[in-house]
Amino acid sequence: MPAWMQRLVRGYASRARLAEVAWEDMSTRRAWIDAFRARPLGPTDVQLQFMRSAGHGGQNVNKVNTKVRAKFILGEHALPAALAQALATGSPLYTPSTHALQVASDRFRSQRQNVEDALQKD
């Protein structure tokens, strides 16, 4: 599981301490977190877009789509409403126009390495 997703789950679990959270709802939240941890994100959970990278690499960067943008659309997944709202208001990765968490990588000259880097970013 990517580091940012681990923090997301921990943050969601810690929000349970808030006074307005009903204790009877806690068992449902904990069950969701356990199920989420048991099944890591797969390629179908994240949309990947590829584009040309800028920077070093000579003429190669003008020809090859090595930059990767990974997008996790909040409305397409069975996220609890409280978690989706917390992400929309508090995550620096959130993009309001797409209602998604987005992260990009053009660190490497290889598309495969940039995909791995984007999915592991904090």
Task: Go through the domains of the chain in sequence order and give each one's CATH number.
Answer: 3-120 (3.30.160.20)
Confidence of residue 20 (pLDDT cuts 50, 70, 90): very low
Confidence of residue 16 (pLDDT cuts 50, 70, 90): very low
Residue 94: exposed, middle, or buried by beta-carbon count in 10 A (0-12, 13-18, 19+)? middle
Short-list 38, 32, 39, 40, CA closest to 15: 32
| pLDDT of 19 over the 50 cut | no
